[in-house]
Amino acid sequence: MFVHLLDADGRMIAQHDGPPKRGQFHTSLWEEGDSIVDEHDIPVKADATKGPWRLAVGLYDPKTGERLPVADSEGRPQPDRMLILDKLPAR
């Protein structure tokens, strides 16, 4: 899984990659309709661009590193194979 913090121009300013649920709940166990709560710490450097920020999330194939396709809640494929979440407040 990847979690990217993006600035207003879409540039990545911080990130965290790692298996969902810190490897404790493999995706092969997921079923359609499951809601998975997954926490990721994203350290942000003190000199990072000020917000508002956006959070981008997605999954990738651990063997190839290729991002897996992702769709929004209405089934539309998303560009760059990532889902952009709401804007985060400025810090």
pLDDT along the chain (91 residues), means of 10: 90 90 80 85 87 89 91 90 75 54
pLDDT attached to residue 37 = 85
CB 54 within 8 A of CB 88: yes
pLDDT attached to residue 90 = 55
Total domain count for the chain? 1
pLDDT attached to residue 22 = 77
pLDDT attached to residue 30 = 84
Cβ-based neighbours of 67, under 8 Å, separated by 6 or more: 2, 58, 59, 60, 80, 81, 82
81's tokens: 């194979």
Instruction: Please count the other Cβ atoms lying within 10 Å of the Cβ belonging to residue 2.
Output: 17
> Can you give the pTM of this predicted structure?
0.79
Range of 35's domain? Answer: 2-88
pLDDT attached to residue 64 = 93
